[in-house]
Amino acid sequence: MRGAWLLLLFLLPASAAAAGYADLGKLERESVDDALAFRGLSIEPAPQGKIIGAVHVVNLDVFLARERVPLVWANIFHRTTREHHVRRESLLQAGDRYDEDLAEETTRNLRDPSLSNVVAVLPVKSATPGMVDVLIVTRDVWSLRFNEDFEAAQNQLIYFTGSLSENNLFGWRKYLAAVFVMDQGEMAFGPQYIDPNILGTRLQLQAAYSLIWKREIGQIAAGPLEGSSSHFHLEYPLYSLASRWGAAADFSYVDGVVRLFEGTRLRPFPLDGVSRSTCDPVPTTLAPGVPTVPWVYGVRKLNTSETVTRSFPTPWVIQRVTAGHEIGLVRLSFTSDFPYPEGSPERQQFASRAFPLSERVSDLFLRYELFTPRYRTFRDLDTFDFREDIRLGPYLSLKAGQAGTWIGSQNDLSIFQASASLVQEALGGLNSVDASWEARLSDGEVTDQLVRARVTLATPVLARLLRVVATGNLGLLYRNTRKRLFSVGGDNGLGSYPENADSRLQAYDSVLRGYPVGEFVGCGAQAVGHIEARTMALKLAFLRLGGLLFVDAGDAAADASSLTLYSDVGFGLRLLIPQLNIYSLRADWAFPLRSVPGMPAGWPGRMTFGFRQVF
């Protein structure tokens, strides 16, 4: 028995090292083989616990001759990441003991889609007996570039962002850009700077400023200047799972105009004098002669936060406690071209029903988080062959805040938020369940409850050909005094993820590819689901090509009982150029199964183009 245990202990490190190389994707393995040959190194089969002698860094060129890309000459215009900037980000340094978990964490920390499409950290044999070296391999994406992301449908450019940028300034992993963003109602332009290690420290800085112009509806033409926006974020991050302290300060300000769209036209707001609650839906079909105005209003928003976080890490679970202060200010106004005069009943009706809540909230809060530090590497979920690190196990977040007039709040109120999720691997597939709840308590009354739930299922790769991915989302709002909106329809380019929620419009968007942007709007309930059968990538020279079939269904309404699901079916193509991006170019053609005004069921359907997967 003792001999069997010794044999098992002897085999375990070798298995782990072999698995580290074997688990690499094709693009990563090719890059690691290039680096090993370039430096004359070989994989160390039993590294665990050995003292690290040296950390080798190999940054490969963007374009490689072996891939037969006709742009190898362009490498002279790209400054690859400087080796010492990569080396200092490693959690494994010379003199440390090699730890496979820290190698994996270093790989996750170094992954940055705007900088590298390949990152690998592996043990290699050392020139000193009994020691081990570390090899870090990265391959830059083209950094001096015109970055872009867009969404096009119905022969119109719905959303576009482009930046003339240097994603890797002087090889220092810093980002400097002039950024242009255009949605259906406005255009914004200004500088942006991101520094992930100020003066070689762990401090991180993000700063941006934009001027905002009105966009002429349906045209790529700027109208009058309408306002500006700015954002500043300074952070000392929890840069590793073992870190114990972190802090951050954030400031953002927007002075602009909100426009609600229905497809490619401004959503009309009826001034019919009918008394409705603030959550009743606005009719999509109006009676003849009912006066309307465009759903447009001015907004000023200011948000600040200052936080300090204490982490309590263990190998099995990590707990974090954050204390902070935040301010949120919202002020609404009529635009100068509103057609009715001050004091008119039409003006009062529009303000009472179309404006979100105008308020100033200043609160102190505590947040508690708990999660398990277990990760699993997937491929071909959202990308083609690139590494996707997913955290497994449970996650819990609880937040309580108290706003008071004594710290500058307009009213006294309590704020509560809770979220939980569970992510599990299943036979090479992935399952996750997420739920969240938030509410306010003021004068003994609970208001503005938002309940959200999401289920995601991804099968293993079937017959080495395809993977089926499905997701379902449900959102419910109760006592919606802040007049937040759910919006379901064609992708507006802004995404449906939490970081885009509670935006200037205070809307929660979800995609229904067969229908116009913002076709279904409600302030009480939302349900959206997707199923996609995604093929694995077909290699065409240096490109990757894939396809998919999909079904979408969803609706938004005043309450759950009023939901009527609209659905579409379609197919799409995905094209990846690894040297430029890890995200694929998306083209989808969707056919609605139920008609809505201006969009008949079936042919010709609706085509959309953009980057990244829809969900």
- Is residue 525 situated within a structural domain? yes
So what's the pLDDT on residue 117?
58
Reported as type and span, the H/E element at residue 134 is strand 131-140
> Which pLDDT belongs to residue 176?
82
Cite the DSSP H helix spans in 140-265.
none
The amino acid occupying position 511 is V
Let me know if residue 285 belongs to a domain.
no
DSSP secondary structure letters along 46-67: --TTPEEEEEEEEEE-SS-GGG
Last residue of a domain, one of 140, 171, 200: 140
| Phi, psi torsion values for 602, nearest 5 degrees | 75, -145
HSE-CB at 38 with a 13 A cutoff on CA atoms is 15
Q: Is residue 163 part of a domain?
A: no
Tally of domains within the chain: 2
Is there a single domain that holds both residue 441 and residue 582?
yes
Q: Which 3 state secondary structure label does DSSP give 113?
A: coil
116 within domain boundaries: yes
- Provide the token pair at 476: 């419910």
pLDDT score, position 363 = 97
Question: 150 lies in a domain?
Answer: no
Residue 125: give its domain's CATH number.
3.10.20.310
On whether both 252 and 116 belong to a single domain, the answer is no
Is there a single domain that holds both residue 268 and residue 120?
A: no
Pairing between β-strand 538-540 and β-strand 543-557 as defined by DSSP bridges: antiparallel
Closest CA to 30 of 125, 135, 120: 120
What is the four-CA torsion angle of 284, 287, 292, 294, rounded to 10 degrees?
Answer: 20
**C-alpha to C-alpha distance for 611 and 141, rounded to whole angstroms:** 16
* Structural domain ending residue among the three candidates 140, 160, 183: 140
DSSP 3-state percent helix, strand, coil across the chain (nearest 5):
15, 50, 35
Same-domain pairing of 259 and 115: no
- Chain centroid to Cα 252, Å, comes to 18
What's residue 282's pLDDT?
A: 58
Question: Is there a domain that residue 177 lies in?
Answer: no
Q: Are residues 317 and 454 in the same domain?
A: yes
Q: Cα 479–482–483 angle (5° rounding)?
A: 85
Give how far Cα 476 sits from Cα of 400, 422, 525, Å. 21, 21, 4
The confidence score (pLDDT) of residue 147 equals 61
Q: Note whether 268 and 131 are same-domain residues.
A: no
Query: Residue 257's closest CA among 178, 355, 159, 348?
Result: 355
**The domain that contains 566 carries what CATH number?**
2.40.160
CB 263 within 8 A of CB 304: no
- Here the tokens at position 576 are 């990846």
Preceding peptide of 604 cis, ω within 30°? yes
A 10 A CB-CB count for 59 gives 20
Mean pLDDT (10-residue bins), the chain, 615 residues = 36 42 76 86 89 88 60 59 78 91 88 68 90 87 60 73 68 79 89 87 93 85 90 94 96 92 82 61 64 91 97 95 97 92 90 88 98 89 81 97 96 96 91 96 93 95 92 93 85 42 48 87 91 90 88 92 93 83 83 91 88 81
Residue 367 lies in a domain: yes
pLDDT of amino acid 217: 77
The answer as to whether 451 is a domain residue is yes
Cα of 130 vs its chain's centroid, Å: 44
Range of the domain at 51: 2-140
Are residues 518 and 371 located together in one domain of the fold? yes
Do 118 and 255 fall into the same domain?
no
- pLDDT score recorded for residue 610: 78
Pair (136, 256) in one structural domain: no
Write down the pLDDT at residue 83: 76
Among 105, 125, 140, identify where a domain stops.
140
Sign of CA dihedral 276, 278, 282, 288: positive
